[in-house]
Amino acid sequence: MNKNNEKNFDTGLITGRTWIASLAPDSDTIESMRTSWPCPDATPSPNMLSIVASRGITSSVEMEQYFYPKKENLYNPLLLTDMEKAAQRVLQAAEKSEKVAVHGDFDVDGLTGTALIAQTLRALEVNGNSVELVAPFVPDRHIDGYGVAIRMIEQWGKDSVDLLITIDTGSSALAEVNRAAELGMDVVILDHHLFDAQPEGAHALVNPRTVGDKYPNSELCGVAVGFKLVQALRKLNSECLPPGFENEVIDLVALGLVSDQMSLQGENRAIVQWGMKKIRSVSRVRPGGKALFDVSNLELGIASTTDVAYQIAPRLNACGRIGDVQVALDLLKENLPNASELAKTANQENVKRRAKDMSLREDAEQMAVEYVDRGDIGLVLGSEDWHRGIVGIGASRMVELFNVPSILFSFEKGEARGSARSIPGVDVKSVLDDCSEHLVRYGGHAMAAGLTLKCKDLDTFRAAFLEALANASGECVVKQYYDLELMFSDMAAESISGLLMETELMEPYGEGNRRPVFRCNELKLKRAPVLMGKTGEHLKFSFTGIGREFVSFGSGRTWRDEVMKLGGNSEAINMSWDVLFQLVPNKWRPRNNANVDPVQIQLTDIMPSKL
């Protein structure tokens, strides 16, 4: 590999990010890859080989594992700290017909984890006996806030619950877990969030981020840790679950991994590829999943991880954030007679969430100007008008707009509950550690965190956060990597179609395996971009000599602002432009059954060409 060609260019107008070329392979590497290409039905083009090589995948073994990940190669679940102890305790609960409670979380990872553990406990049998499962519980965000709900600990104590399993939560719940132990419950924690001190009352804490844990994959999410428990149960007692049970819950794991934006490399890639097969299967998909695809106007058989992340997950999340979380949990059941009705409810909640999200974004943008103009390297914003269920989405929007770590708070009764989102290279959890004396509670990981403080402490916290950020962040340059620079001659319709067909072999896409980004230089606009959407929030670009149009989502306002600085649309038409874009299958189906271009070119950034 040639590692001396990283090129640094100016920032794009839409993202504000610095464009960086991924490492390009040398000719010997390309030839070696060509001779050992593992896909027998496809002869790779030089462009495809370059894209794969830019991901660091060059040997025959690496390519085989990447294109054909095998579920048989998943890691031994008993390598996880406390996993054997946890699995043995669950088997004991089944053998003794004990009463078991499950406590999850209200995001998609927590919901799928709750559904998976509940389905597992219902199927579990040891020596003819099974557990007595109480109704699985997911906290109401409005009533319980974040973490383990103490009201349910007290209730389960009164109900003489023997075993409590928490999933996607519990690692930092010191007081709650200890209280459960006082009330006679054994507590098994299945989690992936960072924590400082282990709850002393826990019978077992299974978390790949435990200090000293030997498990090779620290990128498991909550539901994936739950799936490793399923594997551990099978390993310790091969007859405790029905044959093929893992195939029945693997869709939940894929949904959680994609929705929680975990790295889709190695083991996770194999799990998601396996799970997506069930999600796409008309005969095997869960009724709620099928209904969610229907209300999202998506075709089940060609569903992608992008569809899951941006269409299915938001509808489930909306129930947990601003609606009835039980609706989302029910939609994940194996059998559901009223799936269509519940999916419509989830869809309606998502419409409400989007409206609230838009209002929050507008407020936050206006509020941020003061701090951006004075040069703050992070944003800390709050309002009593913001719903605490969507401040995380709002924080993500601020990161996209301003390229700085951002925290948004919802004020309620003197308490500020917030969500933090970061940029690559800045560990926001570590930054919060350095100013934790101002917080009531907090938790999370490098790229995202939840936190609570008193409203009166907001300004003090902002100052402390910015100081900690300055000490920790170093050079906060947000980079946009692209895989390949295409020549104008590569932009012919048949060449683009062929490249899309090749890159679809790289699915599933997601964190750690993003869809390829391409660059093309010195393009001329045919006309000013056409506004799309109700408020012109999307754009359609047409370039001279290229038959296909480029669609850019959510960039309308930014483009208008930036082009005004350059002299307006008439000046833009006279300029040459460099663009970054992605190729995606066009799944839009018009009502009149008209022919649709199967390729959609999504423009992700643009900048004036250097002359």
Domains (range + CATH), the chain: 8-55+483-608 (2.40.50.460), 77-280 (3.90.1640.30), 281-354 (no CATH), 375-476 (3.10.310.30)
Beta bridge partners of 357: none
For the ranges 272-276, 397-401, 491-495, the maximum mean pLDDT occurs at 272-276
* 3-class DSSP state of 399: helix
Does residue 393 surpass a pLDDT of 90? Answer: no
Axis crossing angle, helix 339-373 with helix 313-321, rounded to the nearest 10: 80
Per-residue pLDDT, averaged over 72-92, amounts to: 96
Amino acid code (one letter) for 510:
G
* 3-class DSSP state of 511: coil
- Separation of CA 502 from chain center: 25
What integer pLDDT is reported at residue 1 of this predicted model?
Answer: 37
pLDDT bracket for residue 475 (50, 70, 90): low
Does residue 279 surpass a pLDDT of 90? Answer: yes
Does residue 415 surpass a pLDDT of 90? Answer: no
* 3-class DSSP state of 84: helix
What integer pLDDT is reported at residue 262 of this predicted model?
Answer: 87
* Cβ 188 vs Cβ 207: under 8 Å: no
The whole-model pTM stands at 0.84
* Cβ 549 vs Cβ 536: under 8 Å: no
In eight-state DSSP terms, residue 367 is H
What would you report as the CA-atom Rg of the chain, rounded to the nearest whole angstrom?
Answer: 25
pLDDT in tens, 300-327: 888 999 999 989 999 998 998 788 899 9
Residue burial 420-438, b: 16+ Cβ < 10 Å; e: rest = bbbbeebbbbebbeebeeb
Q: How far apart are CA 191 and CA 209, in angstroms?
A: 9
What integer pLDDT is reported at residue 2 of this predicted model?
Answer: 36
* 3-class DSSP state of 448: strand
Q: How far apart are CA 240 and CA 235, in angstroms?
A: 10
Q: 């940029």: which residue's tokens?
A: 423
pLDDT in tens, 335-387: 999 999 999 999 999 998 888 888 888 899 999 999 999 999 999 999 988 87
- Whether omega for the bond prior to residue 77 falls within 30 degrees of 0, making it cis, is no
Residue burial 73-87, b: 16+ Cβ < 10 Å; e: rest = ebeebebbbbbbebb
Q: How far apart are CA 543 and CA 573, in angstroms?
A: 10
pLDDT bracket for residue 141 (50, 70, 90): confident
Amino acid code (one letter) for 214:
K
Q: How far apart are CA 511 and CA 104, in angstroms?
A: 24
- Average pLDDT across the chain, whole number: 90
